[in-house]
Amino acid sequence: MKTSLKTVLLIVLANLLLSLAAWGDSRREVKFPDVLDYKTLKCDFHMHTVFSDGLVWPTVRVDEAWRDGLDAISITDHIEYHPHKADVPTNHNRPYELVATKAKEKNILLIKGAEITRDTPPGHFNAIFVTDIAALDVEDFNDAVRIACEQGGFVFWNHPGWKPEAAGWLDIHTKLYENKWLKGIEVVNGDTYYPEAHQWCLEKNLTMLGNSDIHDPITGYEIYEDPELTHRPVTLVFAKEKTAEALKEALLDGRTAVWHKNQLIGREKYLDAIFKASVKIAKPHHSQKDAIWVEIKNNLGIDIQMEKAGAKRAEKLTLPANSTTLLRTKVDSKAEQVKLSYVVKNFLIAPDKGLPVEVIVPIQ
């Protein structure tokens, strides 16, 4: 009886959907420009479901990703930690299977992944682009990482400062690095930015990632806990096209930046390209005596918070997301252009170091 009931219900539902010629679902996504001839893909490579210690069915992660405007995700349930196993027997490859079709429908690249979970040190590591997660369920940590790499996996270190008392770059991390097993680090995990990890990525040429590590459903309610955290952290990947292959190539080549709260974190080359692609300076529309008036557009979905470089006292100029700013500035009447030097405080090219930029206003 129960099987037939289920069948009946499914048929009813299917007919209902098909009776509509067209059906739609809408989102408003925060926009980032494509830069340097790459497509800018928004990605989250770290999330959990009921198949480890998460609290949602795997398909929810695809719905959330679509709603948030992501291009690619990896569901990375813990291989070794299954608090729900009394009710959900362990089945490592199952989350991927359950959402593969839905991901295609929603135009999300689904990357097979898992979290190799050990006490700190060494800590937790994500292996993405792997082919068989069950094969990574082995006792020895180094074996697990090695097998992941042999499967073609891209391995990165998660929340490297999670347990402050045991944190730091230790011999075991050097070994992973020298074996070329470790390819990247999360400089952002959830609501936390790790400046030391940012520095390690710069020094050791590792790929920077920023991921949600979300266990709960993603709602709008996080705002009560941290008013600045209005979106999940996102790894921006600058890829040749929107395919799994191009995504992996870009990660291996270190072409990423991280969008965290109202900050961008990444190498100068990429942040500078985003700035230039986003900020548009018009010709002055009015001049009088020694001053000009000019409109500056910020087409980026985040505020650009600038401070005058080398100013005696702080002189701020914020270009809010998706806004037009009217700028009035002094001008030397003989100059052909006005050049204003700023530091973008919320575009971090190194810990505590903003992106230097020049705002150039043509006069004639």
Between 11 and 252, name the residue whose CB sits nearer to a copy of itself: 11
* Tokens standing for residue 210: 């920023």
Nearer to a copy of itself, 12 or 171 (CB): 12
Q: Is the distance from CB of 298 to CB of 285 less than 8 angstroms?
A: no
Site for a copy of itself in 274-293 (CB under 8 A): 285-286, 288, 291, 293
Cβ proximity to a copy of itself: between 55 and 252 the closer is 55
d(CA 332, CA 290): 7
Q: Closest distance between a copy of itself and the C-beta of residue 180, in Å?
A: 27
Helix (H) or strand (E) holding 276: helix 268-278
Q: Scan residues 251-270 and list those touching a copy of itself (CB under 8 A).
A: none
Name the residue among 203, 187, 321 with its Cα closest to residue 266.
187
- Compute the distance between CA of residue 186 and CA of residue 59 in angstroms, rounded to an integer: 24
> In the complex, what is the shortest distance from the CB of residue 143 to a copy of itself, in angstroms, rounded to a whole number?
13
Question: Are 96 and 109 within 8 A, CB to CB?
Answer: no
Q: Does residue number 172 form part of the binding site for a copy of itself (CB under 8 A)?
A: no
> Per-residue x/- mask for a copy of itself, residues 301 to 320, rule CB under 8 A?
-------x--x---x-xxxx
Nearer to a copy of itself, 100 or 252 (CB): 100
Radius of gyration of the chain (CA): 24
Number of residues this chain uses to bind a copy of itself (CB under 8 A): 85
- Position 12 contacts a copy of itself (CB under 8 A): yes
Q: Pull the structure tokens for residue 2.
A: 């129960």
Binding residue (CB under 8 A) for a copy of itself from 35, 43, 47, 60: 60
Q: Which residues inside 147-166 make contact with a copy of itself, applying CB under 8 A? A: 163
- Considering only residues 194 to 233 of the shown chain, the ones binding a copy of itself according to CB under 8 A are 216-221, 224
Given 32, 66, 181, 194, the residue binding a copy of itself (CB under 8 A): 66
Write down the least CB distance from residue 299 to a copy of itself, Å: 10
Check residue 177 for interaction with a copy of itself (CB under 8 A).
no
Nearer to a copy of itself, 280 or 285 (CB): 285
- Residue 105, C-beta contacts closer than 8 angstroms, at least 6 positions apart: none
Segment near a copy of itself (CB under 8 A); pick from 12-20, 143-151, 197-205, 229-237? 12-20
Helix, strand, or coil (residue 71): coil
The H or E element that residue 195 is part of is helix 195-204
Q: Would you tell me how many other CB atoms lie within 10 Å of the CB of residue 267?
A: 18
Tokens in use for 122?
Answer: 């060494």
Closer to a copy of itself by CB, 18 or 334: give it: 18
Annotate each residue in 106-125 with x if it binds a copy of itself (CB under 8 A) or - if it does not, as one string.
xx---------xxx------
- Residue bearing tokens 């505020």: 303
Closest by alpha carbon to 187, among 133, 239, 236? 236
Site for a copy of itself in 39-58 (CB under 8 A): 50-51, 54-57
Phi, psi of 310 (to 5 degrees): 65, 15
89 or 152: CB nearest a copy of itself:
89
The three-state secondary structure class of 326 is: strand
Q: Which of 150, 26, 141 is nearest to 79 (CA)?
A: 141
Q: Which of 180, 330, 334, 339 binds a copy of itself (CB under 8 A)?
A: 330
Q: Which of 25, 37, 171, 352 binds a copy of itself (CB under 8 A)?
A: 25
Of 208 and 234, which CB lies nearer to a copy of itself in the complex structure? 234
Task: Name which of 142, 72, 131 is nearest 106 in CA terms.
Answer: 72
Say how far apart CA 212 and CA 258 lie, in whole Å. Answer: 11
